[in-house]
Amino acid sequence: MTQESLKILIIEDDEDDAFYIKDLLREGSGEPAPIIDHHSSIGSGLKKLNPFQYDRPCLITD
C-alpha cells in the first residue's frame, strides 16, 4: 500500500522561521516527504488557496 504525502499549509511572516519550521517538519515526517506550502500572510494564503485541501493547516503568530 502506497502512503500519500501529508499536505501542510504554513502561514508565517518571517521567512527564516518558515524555513526552520519546514525543515523540522521534513525531518520529523519520514517518508514520503510532506508537501509544504508557505505563505507570508493570511490574506495571501487564503486568497490563492483552498485551506481545506490540506491535511495540516498551521498558523504561526508572534
Predicted confidence pLDDT, tens digits, the chain (62 residues): 678 888 888 888 889 999 998 898 888 877 888 888 888 877 765 666 666 677 776 666 55
Residue 27 in grid coordinates: 525531518
The owner of cell 498558523 is: 59
Measured distance CA(16)–CA(56) in Å, rounded: 20
CA 12 distance to own-chain centroid: 9
Residue at grid coordinates 503568530: 61
Amino acid at 26: R
Cα(35)–Cα(23) distance, integer angstroms? 12
- Whole-model pTM: value is 0.70
